Amino acid sequence: MADTLRMDRMPHIWCPGCGIGSEVNSFADAVKRSGIDPKKLVVVSGIGCTGRVAGYVNFDSIHTTHGRAIPVATGVKLANPELTVVVFSGEGDLAGIGGNHLIHAARRNMDLVVICNNNFTYGMTGGQVTPTTPGGASASTTPYGNYEYPFSLPFLADAAGATYIARWTSMHSRNVTQSIEEALLRKGFSFIEIISPCPTLYLRRNRLGDGVDQLQNYQDNSILKHGADTRETAIDYQGKIVIGKFVEKNKPTYLEASDKCSIKLVGDDYQLYGKTIPEREAEEKAEKERIAARRAAMAAAEAQEQAVAAKPRKTSAPAAKKAAAAPRAAKKAATKAKAKPAVKKAPAKKAAPKAPAKAAKKAAPKATAKTKAAPKKTRK
């Protein structure tokens, strides 16, 4: 991750067992896999433990004020529509003080990827209750148990108009990576919620053990339900957590809708930042092709790496298998050709260790006896 993190900022502030670190890891991985140009990526965070993400990533980033990550990100996107803009923040920042911005960006289908770390608490400021704290959970401001009704964020985002909605936990890091990758490559408002442990405040106050205990809870209580009705995604205290990709649909983004309106008003000469719509479309197409080429190159490199890794080594099980098969092949060849060269050419020489090859040279029955030695090598 050295190229995606500002290593000069390490060590980071996050506590041991906090879920934010693994989310950043997934994010960095997703950016790499997506094939998008990192120079055209901007990360915006609000304030909070999660808000610190913007300070650690090696992309253009803004660590803005509490609750204002979405409006700042909206401004960045409108000022330069060629950028991919990601908001990475906590549920307090996004759904508490910034809740109004969240619903309006979703309503407009603003072209943003919003990654929301939901740890059910205001981590940075001492564990106060948040809009998602489950009923009954203890917080520094609700020491006798939370008596408010919490938001289910996927339901809120859905009702407001988000066009991509997924929820995972920090236990599901591969799914998190995959969802972020998908969101980076699509248009419109994408909302990804990640349920995550805050051992220092939420878990300790509620006597729920450490980060690992909570990951076990996620493992035991997550229910995978792609396409689930978001009305059924509420989370009770330590209860079941419905996870998956709930919504994925297309509708014009804010910029597309505003382009359409402007064309109606001024005709085809309409320009945004000095570029006509066909010019912008041509640039977008070229960028998509560059991304596709990068992805294809990465897939080819990955396939090659896998092929190298799969190549049998002398002591590996496939090598032993080959070795075991070699005398049989030699015997067959010898019987068939009744000629020395054929026996010499037995494939045993290359893949198999000396013993079976030697055996193949001599006689088939003996070779069979030697074959028994092959598994021993594997065990070693």
Ligand X SMILES: Cc1ncc(C[n+]2csc(CCOP(=O)(O)OP(=O)(O)O)c2C)c(N)n1
Judged by the rule CB under 6 A, the positions of this chain that interact with ligand X are 47-50, 66, 90-93, 117, 119, 121-125, 130
* Cβ(306)–Cβ(299) below 8 Å: no
Q: Least CB distance from residue 256 to ligand SF4, whole Å?
A: 37
- 24 is a contact residue toward ligand SF4 (CB under 6 A): no
Sequence-separated (6 or more) residues with CB below 8 Å from residue 271: none
Sequence-separated (6 or more) residues with CB below 8 Å from residue 88: 27, 43, 44, 45, 50, 53, 54, 69, 115, 117
Half-sphere CA count of 125, side-chain side, radius 13 A? 14
Task: Give me the residues that bind Mg ion (CB under 5 A), please.
Answer: 90-92, 119
Residue 244 partner contact from Mg ion, ligand SF4, ligand X, none using kind-dependent CB cut-offs of 5 to 8 Å: none
Q: Give the Cα separation of 222 and 224 in Å (integer).
A: 6
Closest CB to Mg ion: residue number: 90
- 18 is a contact residue toward ligand SF4 (CB under 6 A): yes
Residue 14 partner contact from Mg ion, ligand X, ligand SF4, none using kind-dependent CB cut-offs of 5 to 8 Å: ligand SF4
Q: What angle do CA 109, 115, 116 make, to 5 degrees?
A: 110
Q: Least CB distance from residue 51 to ligand SF4, whole Å?
A: 10
Q: Give the Cα separation of 110 and 125 in Å (integer).
A: 30
Residue 355 partner contact from ligand SF4, ligand X, Mg ion, none using kind-dependent CB cut-offs of 5 to 8 Å: none
Residue 125 partner contact from Mg ion, ligand SF4, ligand X, none using kind-dependent CB cut-offs of 5 to 8 Å: ligand X
- 49 is a contact residue toward ligand SF4 (CB under 6 A): yes
DSSP secondary structure code for residue 68 in this structure: -
Strand partners, 89: 116
Tokens representing 40?
A: 């055209």
Residue 111 partner contact from ligand X, ligand SF4, Mg ion, none using kind-dependent CB cut-offs of 5 to 8 Å: none
Residue 199 partner contact from ligand X, ligand SF4, Mg ion, none using kind-dependent CB cut-offs of 5 to 8 Å: ligand SF4
Nearest one of 56, 28, 62, 60 to 44, comparing CA atoms: 62
Q: Least CB distance from residue 17 to ligand SF4, whole Å?
A: 7
Tokens representing 258?
A: 């505003």
- 20 is a contact residue toward ligand SF4 (CB under 6 A): yes
Residue the block writes with tokens 């001492």: 126
Interacting residue ranges for ligand SF4, rule: CB under 6 A = 14-15, 18, 20, 49, 119, 123-124, 198-201
